[in-house]
Amino acid sequence: MEFLKRTWAEINLDALKHNIEAIRSAVPPQTGIIAVVKADAYGHGDGYIAGELEQLGIHFFAVSNLEEALSLRRKGVKGDILILGPTPYRRAADLAGYGITQTVYSSQYAGDLSRAAVAAGVKVHCHIKLDTGMGRIGFVVREDQDPAEEIKQVTSLPGLQFDGIFSHFSSADDITPEGEAYTMLQQQRFDRTVAALEAAGIHFTCRHLQNSAGIENERSCQYDYVRAGIILYGMPVDTKKGCALDLQPLLSIRSVVTMVKTLHAGNAVSYGRHYTTDKDRIIATVPIGYADGYLRCMSGKASVLIRGKRARVIGNVCMDQIMVDVTDIPGVSEEDIVTIVGTDGDDCITFDELAGYADTISYELFCLIGKRVPRVYYREGKEVGAVNYLIDEPLTNLPE
């Protein structure tokens, strides 16, 4: 297909199924999975990933905001959707009309949302968010701060139906004694508040605390749901001994060689002339750049794979192209496949490797994959669909 002549992302749906099975093996049979598909399913394509997850028996999704939730509805997702962040309270009718659950994180917001819901003649489904130590949004729970009475008043507001309560581990991937102690403290704060509300007759059918790292490291937690984020997509987190799940990465990024040239000694390459050839060098140009999410700070550090061999990026990464040294790789020619992330032969480049060059985390690199990078989906080694964000329609029809 024509898009294969530039840069594209390959997404392995078999790996998604494998990861769901691994997550299910780590939680009690009665515990449900909330699939976190915010940020376009971490760059993997929200509609396609959520649709595939529904086929795998996942019917609860979490997103960041109303626009992401509406994106799923427009793409045919039928399951429950929880918005983890704020939604303008004036959109109460949209929340109710599209069957979207809203996080409530303060008395002020609850009151505003209640009034908007009553004015619109609707009832908005809600989850209470507790801040047990993240310091972000939520009713603050600390040893000297007990929000139970405040939450009791909130749950009596008209126009709102409270189905769930949750919090978020800040450091479940910190497996030091200090990190583990803090995670335990967060769990204790959560349990204490839920118990106080239950004792007051306020019951929730959807309690959830574990994020990806919590699923792997905090196996003693037993709530109604877990929230699977980065591990859905096969990326590892730091785990205690014996807790790591067998995960498979979904996403690879490929490109092609567009030009091969020989530059003699003393020739500068790319903007700023930060690289100059020390001898005759064979240089290949590859059409990927920082507009595609390949960060400029990886200049001179990262490598790509061509014909199963590593070729180092030389000179500064451009907006649309990079140059790599293929002097030691015989026979490189135009339209050779270039692996930016993924496996070629016996070698593999991971998002974690690239994140190390950029002094960041793999999550950020996922979210930075540009809209002009088509997502191509594979099952059992065969292409089953693709999405191109730069045209109005999918390149191929999505499965029913």
Q: How far apart are CA 166 and CA 207, in angstroms?
A: 6
Residue that is written with structure tokens 């009718």 in the block: 93
User: Catalytic: which of 240, 271, 371, 389?
Assistant: 271
Active site residue 38: yes
Q: How far apart are CA 233 and CA 277, in angstroms?
A: 39
Q: How far apart are CA 307 and CA 388, in angstroms?
A: 27
If we measure between CA atoms, which residue out of 99, 43, 381 comes closest to residue 232? 43
DSSP letter assigned to residue 68 = H
Provide the Cα torsion 363, 368, 371, 376; round to 10°: -40
- Calculate the alpha carbon distances from 24 to 78, 88, 167, 172, 234 in Å: 21, 35, 21, 19, 14
Q: How far apart are CA 134 and CA 239, in angstroms?
A: 20
Count CB atoms within 10 A of the CB of residue 58. 22
DSSP letter assigned to residue 398 = P
User: Catalytic: which of 38, 89, 105, 225?
Assistant: 38
Q: Which amino acid is at 46?
A: D
Burial of 361 (C-beta count, 10 Å sphere; 0-12/13-18/19+)? middle
Contact 285, 256 (CB under 8 A): no
Please list, in sequence order, all residues whose beta carbon lies within 8 angstroms of the beta carbon of residue 394, skipping any fewer than 6 positions away.
385, 386, 387, 388
Instruction: List active site positions.
Output: 38, 271
